Amino acid sequence: MRWFQHGLDVNQAVPRFSTRADLVAVARLLRDGARHYYGLNGKGLPTLLNDAHAVVLEGPHQELWAVALVDYAFQRTTWLRGVGLTRGIRVQAAIESLLPLLHKAAYERGVRRIFYTGDDTDDSWLLSSLRRYGYEHDTDVLVYEKRNLYRPSTGNQTVHIRPVRPQDEPAITMLDRACFEAHWTKEGTALELTMVQDACFMAAELGNQIVGYAYVSIHNQGKLLHLVRLAVDPRYRGQGIGVRLVAEVVALGQRYRTEVITLNTQSYNHEAQQIYRWFGFMKTGERQEVLRYDYGDDGNGDGSDDERRDGC
């Protein structure tokens, strides 16, 4: 390939932890690098660069050739959030130079499992290199869409649906932890998302107790709705609460005269998929592969303790 006609020799570069002084160069690699992946939301990049969450490959003239970064850890798990390479550096050589230091630092912070998700087409260059490094297939995230606003049921009508409020954050956080595996759980979700415009965050209550929620992002003046997250307390499943929440999402689409409602779900979440298909959601054929790196007892790859939880 022409990109590697004048290849860079990684043996002439030094991997090191990044600092905030690297921000401009790192942002450029993650945005415009010859190979780049960036999956970090929000404005957390400067902080991560200063907290040993990113490793850069520095060339002989102090120029940055590559970067890799992980997110903050939660319950011994984290996500690989960014990789950027300059033109002329081989992908596998860069990965094998960056990840040992990045993985070691994550392990010392208590991380025992690192996840990565990327598009099969756009990020195939990274998927294959991570597999060779020791990452393994965990699951696939499937994409569904619904192009009509029909509701086969309105679900449990004894459930009270209301907007989520900032003071609901502790209850939402506890619900998240009960419904999702650690790497799919987000802290501070309720407080942050109640402040987001062009979104609908609804709670399902029974007897003044939050037993479920749905979060929907609104795009193109309501022409597109995306069901970002839906959860039902495991103790209250089988009572039509998930159906009620999906019905409320479709009702939101009716108010906006929405043209399409989309959602993503893990391939192993069969119960949720059954509800979605009943409501007329169809698979688009798109999927994102999720890879997992398990640390062994010695801090290297090969540990595993599979656990599966789903949202509804």
* pLDDT tens digits, one per residue of 130-177: 999 999 999 999 999 999 999 999 999 999 999 999 889 899 989 988
Q: Is the pLDDT of residue 301 over 70?
A: no
Torsion angles phi and psi, residue 228, rounded to 5: -75, -40
pLDDT for res 297: 64
Task: Say if residue 62 is exposed, middle or buried (CB neighbours under 10 Å; 0-12, 13-18, 19+).
Answer: exposed
CATH of domain 144-287: 3.40.630.30
Lowest mean pLDDT among 112-121, 222-231, 258-267, 268-277: 112-121
Q: Where in the chain is the domain with CATH 3.40.630.30?
A: 2-133, 144-287
* pLDDT tens digits, one per residue of 91-124: 999 999 999 999 999 999 999 999 999 776 678 8
pLDDT for res 305: 52
pLDDT for res 204: 97
- Average pLDDT over the chain reads 89
* pLDDT tens digits, one per residue of 165-203: 988 989 998 998 898 887 887 655 555 655 566 789 999
pLDDT for res 40: 80
pLDDT for res 5: 43
pLDDT for res 131: 96
2-133 CATH choice from 3.40.50.1370, 1.10.357.10, 3.40.630.30, 3.40.50.150: 3.40.630.30
pLDDT for res 120: 64
Q: Which residues contact 189 (CB under 8 A, 6 or more apart)?
A: 169, 172, 173, 176, 215, 229
Q: Is the pLDDT of residue 25 over 70?
A: yes
Q: Which of the four pLDDT bands, split at 50, 70 and 90, describes residue 296? A: confident
* Cβ(310)–Cβ(140) below 8 Å: no
Q: Which of the four pLDDT bands, split at 50, 70 and 90, describes residue 4? A: very low
Please give the residue that has the higher pLDDT: either 87 or 6: 87
